[in-house]
Amino acid sequence: MKKVLLIVIDGLSDRGTKTPLSSAKKPNMDKLAEMGINGIMDPIAPGIRPGSDTGHLSLLGYDPYKYYTGRGPIEAAGAGIEVKPGDIAFRVNFGTVEGEGSVFDKVVVDRRAGRISDTDELVKAINEGIDLSKFGVEFIFRRGSGHRGALVLRGEGLSDKITDTDPHKVGEKVWRCKPLRDDENAKRTAEIVNYFMEKAHEILDKHPLNEERAKKGLPKANVLLLRGVGVVPHIPPFEQRYGMKLAVVTGTTLIKGIGRILKGDVIEVEGATGNRYTNVKGKVEAALEALETHDFVLLHFKATDELGHDGDFEGKKEFIEKLDRHFEQLLSLDFSNVCLILTADHSTPVTAKEHTGDPVPITIVYKDVRVDDVKSFSEFEAYKGGLCRIRGLDLINIVMDLIDKAEKFGA
């Protein structure tokens, strides 16, 4: 069977007349562009700003307008929680708040608590210190990558029709969870969330790890910011839908969650962190090994997105160059048997410091593709290619056709 290697460089592309991608020294990515067919892609649709979750669902052939219920369930699955029907799940950030009074009186000064990564003891304290049994509810809280985590509430009469507690920007007070519907389940769930928020803040603010961070001048991870609430969606497994066994290589909890929800195999790589220090070499090698046992391999890199959010032009450029050095071995793949796609799930320009709806470059390398005149992998060259402009949902159809797995439509 023909194989597919989909490489997604998260938040890769930018805006402006000069971008980290266009200015980076990346001979191997450029060579792949020269070997393949190029174009630009709207991961969702023109002008729509994708999340990494909706962007990846689209690239894998799942219409996010149909299957996406919120980031929480995906993040929870990625954190290793076996989510069940009726569960509601949240995406969580460890953040930093300052001020007096309850957690809802305090102001968020850092939504990522200095990008804290050593959260195991904090997670343990939350799990041991909070009891929701008086509500007839249990919770499961797990760490994710870096400053992230996932929370699941399990019990009768829960609703996902509630607001976030994350204000999504610094300088604002923590939001109190509110029901979005005038029904008892939504009101009760909001009450449970607010109780959980208060108790978590009390535990974290006094935790020895945070007291030690404060002494070192580091921001305390003294609040849990909840967002992306959703119910567990019903999604057809990837192999059932496309007849290909899926493997996912990533250091990012969210993308692991997408792999697990689609019933794919998540391949753990030592040192795969989801940031600029990730084990690029190990991830590339793991992806190539996975091609021997799987039909479709998603290889994901997150750091470009984080550096875009940080507005770090040079850091993003340097990480692209780091990736490129380890992509040299991709040039020797047997492209009569392996279809390689190099692209992104969305743009995160360093000027915007946020996801935007700008299209992303895409290169497809495979035997018999209509090789075009593009010689460089960048935002400014890709649009000249023969693939022209496509949507994310088009990608799986194009790939299925190239590897002769597409069914004919009509007589």
Question: Do β-strands 388-391 and 88-98 pair in parallel, antiparallel, or remain unpaired?
Answer: unpaired
DSSP string of 190-211, one letter each residue? HHHHHHHHHHHHHHHHT-HHHH
Q: Which pTM was predicted?
A: 0.85
Res. 146 pLDDT band, cuts 50 70 90: confident
Domain ranges of the chain: 3-68+235-402, 77-231
pLDDT of 234: 83
Cβ(29)–Cβ(327) under 8 Å?
yes
Res. 145 pLDDT band, cuts 50 70 90: confident
Q: How far apart are CA 197 and CA 74, in angstroms?
A: 21
pLDDT of 5: 98
Read off the DSSP letter of residue 124.
Answer: H
Res. 214 pLDDT band, cuts 50 70 90: very high
Burial class (CB in 10 A: 0-12, 13-18, 19+), 285: middle
Q: How far apart are CA 297 and CA 244, in angstroms?
A: 10
Q: Does domain 3-68+235-402 have CATH number 3.40.720.10?
A: yes
What is the distance between the terminal CA atoms of the chain, rounded to a whole angstrom?
Answer: 25
Read off the DSSP letter of residue 175.
Answer: P
Biggest CA pair distance of the chain = 73
Tokens representing 104 are: 């809802």
User: In the block, which residue shows the tokens 């059932």?
Assistant: 240
Res. 75 pLDDT band, cuts 50 70 90: confident
Q: Is the pLDDT of residue 251 over 80?
A: yes
Q: How far apart are CA 248 and CA 225, in angstroms?
A: 27
Strand partners, 40: 361, 389
Cβ(351)–Cβ(43) under 8 Å?
no
Sequence-distant (6+) residues with CB within 8 A of 268 are none
Q: Give the distance, in angstroms, between the CA of residue 9 and the centroid of all CA atoms in the same chain.
A: 11
Q: Which CATH class is domain 77-231?
A: alpha beta
pLDDT of 14: 97
Res. 83 pLDDT band, cuts 50 70 90: confident
Cβ(170)–Cβ(110) under 8 Å?
yes
Task: Report pLDDT digits (tens) over 111-135.
Answer: 999 999 889 999 999 999 999 999 9
Asked whether the CA dihedral 340, 345, 347, 348 is positive or negative, the reply is negative
DSSP string of 246-285, one letter each residue? EEEE-S-HHHHHHHHHTT-EEE--TT--SSTTS-HHHHHH
pLDDT of 335: 98
| Percent of the chain predicted with pLDDT > 70 | 100
Pick 395 or 71 by higher pLDDT: 395
Q: How far apart are CA 395 and CA 139, in angstroms?
A: 38
Q: How far apart are CA 54 and CA 56, in angstroms?
A: 6
Question: Do β-strands 148-155 and 88-98 pair in parallel, antiparallel, or remain unpaired?
Answer: antiparallel
Cβ(44)–Cβ(64) under 8 Å?
yes
pLDDT (average), residues 324-334? 97
Q: Of how many residues is the chain composed?
A: 411
Q: How far apart are CA 189 and CA 88, in angstroms?
A: 10
